[in-house]
Amino acid sequence: MLSACSKKEALPEPIRAVKLLTVGEGKIEAAQEFTGDVRARVESRLGFRVGGKIIKREVELGQRVKAGQVLARLDARDYQLSADAARAQVASATTQRDLAQANAQRFRALRAQNFISAAEMERYEANLKAAQASLDQAKAQLSSQSNQENYTQLLADVDGVITSVDAEPGQVVAAGTPVVRIAQDGARDAVFAVPEDRRASIRMGQGVQVKPWSDESQVVRGLVREVAASADPATRTYQIKAALQGTDLPALGATVRVVPEGMSVANTAVGGSVIKLPTTALRQDGGGGQGTAVWLFDPASSTVQLQSVQVATADGNEAVIASGLKPGMQVVATGVHVLNPGQKVTVYRDKYAKPQEKPASNQPQAQDSKAPAATEGVAPAAPVTAEGGK
């Protein structure tokens, strides 16, 4: 009973093996590239001007169409019946007009001989005008019903390519519901998105270089023609449209790499030396107030301590550090979210790794063959030996 009530001794904290890298200086190598795609300057969503059931679709996705070509058809039987009724109404109104016209002509002769009064003659003239108005109304109704019947065929307004199909045969659609989308032939744009910190670097008329992924040797020049005024609510990025110039342009929908001209990297001098770390070495504190930090290794005590850093920008897959580190410091390269301040660690060494030749003096050296180098252009630090680890 006494042993059951006694407190259990806390297990000693495990000594973890960590991969280290030596902080050095290097140059910004990655260009400011953004991924985008090629779109037509004008894309139109086409729909029927009347509602009904789609009975046939005449085009497929990616098909090239000409102006006036039939794209889809609706069931037109109800509209045909309405048009037939309007034709019958025209025929009836024509008969009434002809009868009123004959009566008016006959009574004009009688009025010339004073056999009828002027008031009686005016009544027949009014009947003729009413019959003529009824005929005009019937003809207008027939024209409207004929148009409704013609609207059951969806026609292409311009030459272009079908880029989207939004309705299928058998579907009942309302008037104006998009059925297909056409990318019009002509001018094309390279459309890409930039983060908020790059939005101020993009301006109207700025030149860009567009490189298709399928053929990196092809470079097309473009000019920024549209910059979104507000960010996308989902991605929080700003959409940019650059008008492509030239005749040999990438195909519609092609993925391209867009390099804006004259775009500098924030908080760094072009061509200057900066400190870069792999993103795996960064630790983001969710609510402790530490912000972005790295683990510094102390060779004397074989422990690690948090060091706050400020990230200026990204250079490819590496983060450019603006402040918080100096060349020669040793930081943990991976596994940063399983360490605690003051924790004892040992340096990880791959026992299966082959011995490496001594690197050139201008290359950085990590503590492990698999650990990524922090930067280029710095002499390696002496190997670190952790004491007390197993």
What pLDDT, in 10s, does the model give residues 61-113?
989 999 999 999 999 999 999 999 999 999 999 999 999 999 999 999 888 88
Strands 188-194 and 220-227: unpaired
Q: Over the range 38-75, which residues count as b (16 or more CB within 10 Å of their CB) and which as e?
A: bbbeeebebbbebebebeebebeeeeebeeeeebbbbe
Encode burial over 312-346: b for 16+ CB neighbours within 10 A, e otherwise. Answer: bbebeebbbbbebbebebbbbbbbbeebeeebbbb
The CA distances from residue 8 to 1, 3, 11, 15, 284, in Å, are 14, 10, 9, 21, 34
- Which residues face 100 on adjacent strands? none
- The token pair at 329 is 């410091």
Task: Kindly tell me the sign of the dihedral angle through the C-alpha atoms of 156, 160, 164, 168.
Answer: positive
Cα 385 to Cα 46, 158, 277, 351: the distances in Å are 71, 74, 22, 15
Residues of the chain with pLDDT under 70: 1-13, 28-31, 263-272, 286-290, 316, 350-390
Determine the Cα angle at 346 with ends 382 and 324, to 5°.
Answer: 60
Segments in the chain forming alpha helices (H): 2-5, 77-112, 118-150, 196-199
Number of CB atoms found within 10 A of residue 167's CB: 18
**HSE of 295 in the Cβ direction (CA atoms, 13 Å)?**
26
Question: What DSSP element (H or E) covers 192?
Answer: strand 188-194
Whole-angstrom distance, CA of residue 186 vs CA of residue 139: 41
Note the pLDDT of residue 318.
Answer: 81
For the full predicted model, state whether its pTM sits above 0.85: no
Q: What is the model's pLDDT at position 14?
A: 73
Residues 182 and 41: beta-carbon distance below 8 Å = no
